[in-house]
Amino acid sequence: MEQLRWLPMAQDWRARLRALDAADDVWSRAVALANTRLDFVRTNALDASVRRLVRTAPSGLGTRPVRLAVLGSSTLSHLLPAIRVAGLRRNIHVETCEGGYGQYLQELTVPGSALYAFKPDTILLAFDAVHVTQGVHAAMSASDADAALAERCAAIEQCWQQARHALGCHVMQQTVLDVFPPLLGNNEQRLAGSKSRFVTRLNQALRDMADRHGADLVAVHSSAARDGLHAWHDPALWHRSKQEVTPARAPSYGELVGRLLAARQGRSFKCLVLDLDNTLWGGVIGDDGMDGIVLGQGSPLGEGFVSVQDYAKDLARRGVILAVSSKNDEANALEPFEKHPDMVLRRADIASFQANWTDKAANLRAIAADLSIGLDSLVFLDDNPFERSFVREQLPMVAVPEVPEDDPALVPSVLADAGYFESAGITADDRERTAQYQENRARTALQATAGDLDSYLRALQMRMVWNRFDSLGRSRVVQLIGKTNQFNLTTRRHTDADIAAIMADPESFGLQIRLLDRFGDNGIIGIVIGRTTQPGTITLDTWLMSCRVLGRGVERTTLNLVAGVARAMGVETLVGEFIATKKNGMVRDHYRNLGFTVVAETESGSTATLDLRHFTPQQSFIDVTEGPPA
């Protein structure tokens, strides 16, 4: 299977690469080049140019630069350019350092090592199959094999702990490629000392360990299972140069790492926008009618389109928002969703439905506005090459996958391979997402009928339920902190460990805020973290909210709540900070609007204070209660 097949082929590759040297906007041009179908050679060439021309992370990218240390037991240097380019593809500047060949244990444990000097924020551990199976042999007893596995797991766990605690790093662990020819055959599990069996068991153990430790796996063994081991590993190359992953596959390897780096800073895509005709069904609904479109059992093509819908539906069930953009009369476009017996997707699955005759770029803008998400959160799936290239040109921040021509059956695997929706975890809110956006639309409809805003807000019957951070809501809190970009005053990406520290600190508070109304439960929509910075003063380290509840007075009510909590701690002054990013311009005047006094202000941020001794709670249509303890 061709690598990066969801990306379009580059036109004028060499000329465009060479043009970087004379360009003012090197970085954005390089991002565009990274979003073409690069092989190993082109990946290296692009990386070399960018490294020569862009020495340090450009400012104002709206992403956090990453310092990634790659430690392993064999040759890895051929993979680093592809990792950096996969970051570039996502507008993330990645600096890497490679540990000495097999020196990872010393480097992790000796504070004077080059690794410590590099000051990484993320560590990728990549152990080859020969290394992890040292001492395992076919004559081994079952109990010796078990002991060897436990020992290996403990050694890896120790590396993770060292990386986290001594270096303060997020940990990524590459899974192990099963490069060993089987000894028994189909029932390899019956040979206790089989290296192949050992690797299978180790990979399974790594999954559980990763969940316990908050580490992320780079699951190359899963990719190799899909692509074929020979695509990933060449035994001859292993003997020649100790490269376990073949250089030809480096772009795919880089992708696996790059998308995890993006997911960890909330830069995964959030919404799949679907075309209708010849994307969700065969034929043109406006011409062929309900009886004429190809969908459902009875034809291979019809079943292929069902498989596309099945995959989209499952994505929605795990938190990806679905939207529709179609050139059609709305009534025609809606009819299959309401009446066709073989449709898997129904109207309720689609959070924003744009069927009209305006161009698709305008429709995508409308979808982003409708859902209060950025254009760079959208993936646009369309069978029509004209529409794809039009959108790529008009809206380069929208991801537009190449679609296998005339075979819908292949579309789900392309979407999966592209990894647009890579997620580090799943929360209850993810499962409810589409319903929440649907409810939001009902609210908007009520707003249109209710006339003035105050009576609308009153009619919503809003209830705010808040809790201190607790173990129950912790994963959602970390997720929101990781991915909220717009209504986020400081964009501090606290980790799970940071949240635990706040929970344990009596001088700090962390509030998770849920909003309910007559249309349903919006889930956790706000997070505020305050820290005592001097006696009697609390600085608001973090204040973020979900954009879909804005315009309802939630900010004012939240301030009332924060003031109440702070007063109960004996606090007299609240300090609010704003740190500007490319995406959070909407909250530049947040504290000023709430009645704070701005004491310092520059382009890059501001500081404001509020005297709680003279603060009176502001009018609100939201009923506030403290939630039951978890």
Partner 1 sequence: MTEEKIYAELTEIFNDVFMADDMKLTPELSAKDVPGWDSFKQIEIMVSVEERFNIKLNTREIDSLRNVGDLAAVIARKT
Residues of this chain that bind partner 1 (CB under 8 A): 13-14, 17-18, 39-42, 44-45, 78, 236, 239-241, 246-248
- Contact assessment for residue 364 and residue 325, using Cβ atoms and an 8 Å cutoff: yes
- Measured between alpha carbons, how far is 424 from 422 in angstroms, rounded to an integer? 7
The 10 Å Cβ neighbour count of residue 156 is 21
Residue 163 — φ and ψ, nearest 5°?
-65, -40
**Tokens for 627?**
């939630």
- Measured between alpha carbons, how far is 122 from 169 in angstroms, rounded to an integer? 5
Shortest distance in whole angstroms from residue 107 CB to partner 1? 24
Residue 75 or residue 328: which is nearer to partner 1 going by CB?
75
Exposure string for 5-14, b = 16+ CB within 10 A, e = fewer: ebbbebeeee
Residue 315 — φ and ψ, nearest 5°?
-60, -45
Report the Cα 577 to chain-centroid distance in Å: 26
- Contact assessment for residue 436 and residue 546, using Cβ atoms and an 8 Å cutoff: no
Give the single-character DSSP code of 166: I
- Measured between alpha carbons, how far is 48 from 52 in angstroms, rounded to an integer? 6
Give the long-range contacts of residues 353-359, CB within 8 A, separation 24 or more.
353/323, 353/324, 354/323, 354/324, 354/325, 354/326, 355/276, 355/324, 355/325, 355/326, 355/327, 355/328, 355/329, 355/330, 356/327, 356/328, 356/330, 357/327, 359/390, 359/394
Shortest distance in whole angstroms from residue 195 CB to partner 1? 23
- Measured between alpha carbons, how far is 176 from 152 in angstroms, rounded to an integer? 12
Cα→Cα distances 230→201, 227, 376, Å:
21, 8, 35
- Measured between alpha carbons, how far is 483 from 481 in angstroms, rounded to an integer? 6
Q: What does the radius of gyration of the chain's CA atoms come to, in whole angstroms? A: 26
Shortest distance in whole angstroms from residue 25 CB to partner 1? 21
- Contact assessment for residue 494 and residue 64, using Cβ atoms and an 8 Å cutoff: no
Exposure string for 85-104, b = 16+ CB within 10 A, e = fewer: bbbbbbbbbbbbbbbeeebb
- Contact assessment for residue 320 and residue 309, using Cβ atoms and an 8 Å cutoff: no
Exposure string for 419-452, b = 16+ CB within 10 A, e = fewer: bbbbbbeebebbebbbbbbbbbeebeeebeebee
- Measured between alpha carbons, how far is 463 from 624 in angstroms, rounded to an integer? 6
> In DSSP terms, which residues pair with 68 in a beta bridge?
96, 122
- Contact assessment for residue 113 and residue 106, using Cβ atoms and an 8 Å cutoff: yes
Which is it for strands 573-579 and 321-327: parallel, antiparallel or unpaired? unpaired
Residue 96 — φ and ψ, nearest 5°?
-125, 155
